[in-house]
Amino acid sequence: IVMIKNKVVILTGGSGLIGQALCKSIAKNNGYVIVADIIENNEFKKDIKNDSNMEYYYLNVSSQDSINNIIKYCDKKFGKIDVWINNAYLKTTKNSKNKREYSDDFFNLSYENFCESVQLNQGSIFLCSKFISKYFLKQGYGHIINVSSIYGLIAPRFEIYENTGMTMPLDYAMNKSAIIH
C-alpha cells in the first residue's frame, strides 16, 4: 500500500465490506481510488464524498461496454490507470423481490444457479482482466490484483456455520479457488 501514492486505482466491488476497507486504505495512503461497483452504498457514499482521493463510478463487471466505459473515463480524466483490483463478487440466487443474493448450500443449490455463479464470477474477472490488459499493453505498464478467499485454498468447513442459519456456498469456494489458479 505504501507504493500506492499518486497511483490511479480502479477497485471493483468497492462498495462491499472488503472493498470499502481497501478503498479507504488506498485513499489514506494518497492513492486515487475509483470505487467501481453496481451498488451505491449510501453510508459509504458519505465517506467517498468527504475524501478527495475517492470517487464512485457505476460499473457492471459482467458488461463489456461498462468495463470499456470506466477505462475510457479514467484515461480521459487521469491520462493513466496504474492498478485494477478484481474484488467484486456477484450474487446469483434471485429472491421473490428479484434481488440477487448469495447462493444456497450444496443440497439446495440448483445447477442453473451454480452455472450462473461460475459464469458471472469467473467470467467477470476474465472480461475485466482482458480489457484492462489491452489498456495496460498500450500504456506500457499496469498491475492487476485479484482478490480471493481462504476458501479458495481449503475445503469449506461447514461446522463453522452450524446453528447459525448461515452456510458456506459451494460455488463461492469454487469461484475463489479459480481466481487463485
Catalogue the active-site residues.
172
In the chain, helix, strand, coil percent, each to 5?
45, 15, 40
Q: Pairing state of beta strands 93-94 and 100-101?
A: antiparallel
Query: Among all chains, which residue has been given the C-alpha cell 492513492?
Result: 31
Terminal CA-CA length for the chain: 24
The SS3 assignment for 115 reads helix
Radius of gyration, CA atoms only, the chain = 17
- Residue type at position 10: I
> 70 and 64 in contact (C-beta within 8 Å)?
no
